Chains A and B, each alone.
Chain A
Amino acid sequence: MFPQSTLLDPLFWMVLGAIQVLVFTGASQWAKEYQLGMNWWRWSVVGFWWLSFILTIAGAFTLLGENEGNAGWYVLGFVGTLLVIGGAAILKVLVLLKPNPQ
């Protein structure tokens, strides 16, 4: 976020990395509440989706930063929507594959 500054830039990336831990612990808390029975491959699917979602947003705004107005919005709209649909599909699968409580 602060590419020109030698101090703030590393700090920013460290903080961003740190809050990912909070994101995933929060997510596991939500998952526990809905008893989704999360195992390793479910977490990796969710993690992969989350990474591509953030990358898409970052990519679209990078294009905007480069003064490619049209390209930025179209990428955000096009890839963004596909990812949102993908996310909904993953959620549906997770809910369907819920282990039924004994």
Chain B
Amino acid sequence: MKDDAQIGDEATTNSSRRNFLKLGGLAAATATVGAGAGAGFVLGRDPDANIGWGRTEAGKDMYFNREAFEVDFPPTMEVVGNIERPEWGDYLFNRAFSLVKSIKGGWEPSEDWTQIPDLRVREYYEKYPKRWEEMLLSFSEKVKHDNNIEKHRDRFALAWAYSGAYSKGLHADFPPEPTEHPDVDDFKWVQREPKEFKSPEHASKLIKQMAFKFGMSLVGITKLDSNFVFKNMMRGMPEWGDEIPKHWKNVIVFGVPMNWDPMYAAVGYSTSYDAYYRAKMASGLMAAYLGELGYAARPQFPGNSYEVIMPPLAMLAGLGESTRNGILMTPEVGPNIRLAAVITNLDLEHDKPIDLNMKHFCESCKICADACPSGSISKADKPDDVVRGIRKYAFNQDGCWRFWNQGPTPSGLGCRVCIAVCPYTRKNNWIHALVKQAEPRDPTGVTRNALLAMQHNFFYYPDAESFHPEWSGGNFASYHQPPEWMRSEEYLKVEKTWEYDGNWEGF
């Protein structure tokens, strides 16, 4: 029989144990809440969430499992008429350079587009007469831009340096611009007999790994669809009809996102050149790799060196879908993706397109259309234009180009606001990954509506005019404020005379 003392101290040990557990439990609970908040905050700030540039050679950036969503035909590429191939004049840079040549030849632009000397450009503006006014505006806006841009160097010095560095890199001569007929030029790096692959599946598996090793974040392979090859346009050939070289069988499409923080601080602090440079280098490396194995390779890379339209091929290769602002949207990085490709005669296994319900998201979202500084993105509820037989949202190329020439970037090229404000442009931290996995799997659309309600009510978006530079009615607003390493007042001896207008950091 235990005597009272034993029962006594047993009771005390029991009660003290009980108290310890009770208080310990409370303390642990509060510690968990603190840890949850801290871990959450740090994960939000974690640079590892920045997908891109082949962070891990195993291509972990391509974390979205596409098998469950593969379809035979991309839902956002709805064919409504007979598909026509794109004309030379449909490509904006072709028009711009042709106008430059005519102006240097002494032609004086006027409000009447029928006076344009180059027939191919005239044909385009015959289809879209209203857009000629925008192109005209881009001339005068560019002059106003050049007269005002230097005044803001104090504010944007670091941003321009960052963009200038990659721009110089982009203009390096690798991969070299083709100079001869494709049948010769595409084989210039082939020294020996082509090595046979065990099977197209093996070839595709290897090529994808190599794309990741060359620094790409996303890669897809598909048959080269002739519908998206430009007519009368072949680099290295002054004259070209509409025939397609026989050895152009498959196309390897890959891409990499722009650096996240500058992109979120579009327009003034952002640049496409960092992603352009990396994508171009990767296309050169891939072309050389295929050449070493004895296969033809025709690199298509950013800046202005294409024979094909990239987004549709990327959609066919299952990288993503088409959106309201007309560029490719991927599940991993949203529209924050810059594409490059290599066309080859190597037999490869093709990827299938995917359907991630993005169509419905774009229909009810419209945030990019509201934020677009030049109002070039359609605000219709459904795709409201048919371009070369395919239904898509109307997009005013020339209006967008006009704001490129107004924007506060030194070369006056690029805007990227629609990419920055898109709800899909999210880094890979746990909360966005969770949402991106849940949304396509929910047939009822409840998650989508909840997300959009939160997006419209809880997030701050500067209005379209305020993205403009000061000389055209804005205050250099941006979706996020610029990152610390781009704020010139932190590093340079400059006097901060400006205010940042963008999402505040919450504290």
Q: Using CB atoms and an 8 Å cutoff, list the residues of chain A in contact with chain B.
A: 1-4, 12, 16, 19-20, 22-27, 29-30, 33, 53-55, 57-75, 78
Contacts and interface: CB of A to CB of B under 8 A. Distances in A.
A64 B504 CA distance: 9
Contact of A64 (B23, B264, B454, B507): B507
A70 B25 contact: no
A22 B25 contact: yes
B21 A29 contact: yes
A27 B429 CA distance: 31
B458 A70 contact: yes
Contacts of B505: 64, 67, 69
A74 B455 CA distance: 11
Contacts of B48: 3-4
Contacts of A62: 40-41, 43-44, 429-431
Contacts of B115: none
B101 interface: no
A23 B28 contact: yes
Contacts of A29: 18, 21-22, 25
B35 A65 contact: no
B39 interface: yes
B42 A1 contact: yes
Contacts of B384: none
A57 B458 contact: no
A58 B37 contact: yes
Contacts of B429: 62, 66
Nearest to B430: A62
Interface residues of B, number: 43
Contacts of B264: 67
Contacts of B41: 61-62, 64-65
B506 A69 contact: yes
Contacts of B46: 3-4, 65
Contacts of B25: 22-27, 29-30
A48 to B, nearest CB: 15
Interface string B19-53: 00111111011011101111111111111100000
A73 B37 CA distance: 12
Contacts of B507: 64, 69
B33 A57 contact: yes
Contact of A74 (B29, B42, B458): B458
B24 A70 contact: no
B480 interface: yes
B231 interface: no
A1 B22 contact: no
B163 interface: no
Interface in B457-500: 457-460, 480-481
B459 A71 contact: yes
Contacts of A12: 35, 39
A3 to B, nearest CB: 4
Interface in B405-464: 427, 429-431, 454, 457-460
B457 A69 contact: no
Contacts of B345: none
A63 B44 contact: yes
Contacts of A16: 32, 35, 39
Nearest to A19: B28
A70 B503 contact: yes
A66 B45 contact: yes
A52 B94 CA distance: 55
Nearest to B38: A1
Nearest to B26: A26
A25 B26 CA distance: 10
B168 to A, nearest CB: 30
A24 B28 CA distance: 9
A30 B33 contact: no
Given A3-B48, A26-B25, A75-B458, A64 B506 contact: yes
B42 A3 contact: yes
B26 to A, nearest CB: 6
Contact of A70 (B36, B430, B459): B459
A101 B110 CA distance: 95
Given A2-B42, A62-B41, A69-B506, 6 more contacts: A12-B39, A16-B39, A54-B36, A69-B503, A71-B459, A74-B454
B37 A20 contact: no
A68 B454 CA distance: 12
A7 to B, nearest CB: 16
Contacts of B431: 59, 62-63
A-B interface, 7 closest residue pairs, ranked by CB to CB distance from nearest: A26-B25, A65-B44, A69-B506, A58-B40, A61-B40, A74-B458, A62-B44
A54 B459 contact: no
Nearest to B34: A57
B459 A67 contact: no
Interface centre among B39, B454, B457 (most CB of A within 10 A): B39
A70 to B, nearest CB: 5
Interface centre among B26, B33, B506 (most CB of A within 10 A): B506
A66 B41 CA distance: 8
B21 A26 contact: yes
A30 B436 CA distance: 39
A36 to B, nearest CB: 14
